[in-house]
Amino acid sequence: MNLRAVRGTRDIFGPEMLAWHRAESVFREVTNSFAYEEFRTPLFESTDLFKRGVGEETDIVGKEMYTFEDRGGDSLTLRPEMTAPIVRAMIEHNILRHHPLTRLWYAGPQFRYERPQKGRYRQFHQFGAECIGSEHPESDAEIILLANEVLRRFGLTNIRLELNSLGSSEVRASYRSALVEYLRLHINKLTPDSQRRIDSNPLRVLDSKEPQDIAVVAGAPLLHSFLDDASATHFAAVRALLDVVGVPYVVNPLLVRGLDYYNHTVFEFTTTSLGTQNAVGGGGRYDPLFAMLGGGNVPAVGFSLGIDRMILLLEAEQGCWSEKPIDGVYICAIGEAARLPVNAIALRLRRNSIHVVTDLLRRSMKAQLKEANRERVVWTIMIGDDELANGTAVVKNMESGEQLTVPQYQLESIIA
Ligand code: AMP
Q: How distant, in Å, are the alpha carbons of 17, 194, 196 from that of 151? A: 18, 33, 36
- Domains in the chain: boundaries: 14-168+228-318, 329-415
Burial zone of 347 (CB within 10 Å; 0-12 exposed, 13-18 middle, 19+ buried)? exposed
CA-nearest residue, atom 9 of ligand 1: 281
Give residue 309's pLDDT band: very low, low, confident or very high (50, 70, 90): very high
**CB distance 309 to ligand 1 below 6 Å:** yes
Residues near 319 by beta carbon (within 8 Å), at least 6 away in sequence: none
| Phi then psi dihedrals of residue 149, to 5 deg | -65, -40
Asked if pLDDT for residue 277 goes beyond 80, the answer is no
Superfamily of domain 14-168+228-318: Bira Bifunctional Protein; Domain 2 (3.30.930.10)
Higher-confidence residue: 323 or 84?
84
The mean per-residue pLDDT over the stretch 168-187 comes to 91
pLDDT of residue 173: 87
CA-nearest residue, atom 12 of ligand 1: 306
| Phi then psi dihedrals of residue 107, to 5 deg | -150, 135
pTM beyond 0.85: yes
Whether the Cβ atoms of residue 256 and residue 203 lie closer than 8 Å to each other:
yes
The two domains 14-168+228-318 and 329-415 share their CATH topology (first three levels equal): no
**CB distance 308 to ligand 1 below 6 Å:** yes
Radius of gyration of the chain (CA): 28
Ligand 1, atom nearest to 283 Cα: 4
Give residue 366's pLDDT band: very low, low, confident or very high (50, 70, 90): very high
pLDDT of residue 261: 83
Burial zone of 180 (CB within 10 Å; 0-12 exposed, 13-18 middle, 19+ buried)? middle
CA neighbor of 174 nearest in space, from 263, 254, 258, 252? 263
Superfamily of domain 329-415: Anticodon-binding domain (3.40.50.800)
- DSSP per-residue letters across 221-269: PPGGGG--HHHHHHHHHHHHHHHHTT---EE-TT---S-TT-EEEEEEE
281 Cα: distance to centroid of ligand 1 (angstroms): 7
pLDDT of residue 56: 84
Task: Work out the angle between the directed axes of helices 15-33 and 307-318 (0-180°, nearest 10).
Answer: 120
Ligand 1, atom nearest to 304 Cα: 6
The residue whose CB lies within 8 Å of the most ligand 1 atoms, and thus the one to mutate among 110, 143, 276, is: 110
High-pLDDT (> 90) share of the chain, %: 84
Higher-confidence residue: 168 or 102?
102
**CB distance 282 to ligand 1 below 6 Å:** yes
CA-nearest residue, atom 13 of ligand 1: 306
Digit-coded pLDDT (tens) for 211-268? 999 999 999 998 888 999 999 999 999 999 999 999 999 999 889 887 778 999 999 9
Query: What's the CA angle centered on 301, arms 179 and 235, to 5 degrees?
Result: 55
**CB distance 81 to ligand 1 below 6 Å:** yes
252 Cα: distance to centroid of ligand 1 (angstroms): 19
**CB distance 281 to ligand 1 below 6 Å:** yes
The per-type count for the chain, helices as H runs and strands as E runs, is 16, 16
pLDDT of residue 85: 97
**CB distance 111 to ligand 1 below 6 Å:** no
The mean per-residue pLDDT over the stretch 338-357 comes to 95
**CB distance 50 to ligand 1 below 6 Å:** no
The residue whose CB lies within 8 Å of the most ligand 1 atoms, and thus the one to mutate among 309, 311, 312, 314, is: 309
CA neighbor of 17 nearest in space, from 356, 322, 357, 306? 322
The residue whose CB lies within 8 Å of the most ligand 1 atoms, and thus the one to mutate among 65, 81, 82, 124, is: 124
The mean per-residue pLDDT over the stretch 125-136 comes to 98
DSSP 44: E
pLDDT of residue 285: 97
pLDDT of residue 321: 85
25 Cα: distance to centroid of ligand 1 (angstroms): 21
CA-nearest residue, atom 16 of ligand 1: 120
CA-nearest residue, atom 11 of ligand 1: 306
Q: Which helix (H) or strand (E) holds 372?
A: helix 365-374
**CB distance 112 to ligand 1 below 6 Å:** yes
CA neighbor of 112 nearest in space, from 74, 181, 152, 64? 64
Give residue 201's pLDDT band: very low, low, confident or very high (50, 70, 90): confident
Whether the Cβ atoms of residue 395 and residue 411 lie closer than 8 Å to each other:
yes
Mean pLDDT of the chain: 94
Higher-confidence residue: 207 or 369?
369
High-pLDDT (> 70) share of the chain, %: 100
Asked if pLDDT for residue 334 goes beyond 80, the answer is yes
The residue whose CB lies within 8 Å of the most ligand 1 atoms, and thus the one to mutate among 50, 83, 304, 310, is: 304
- Length of the chain in terms of residues written: 416
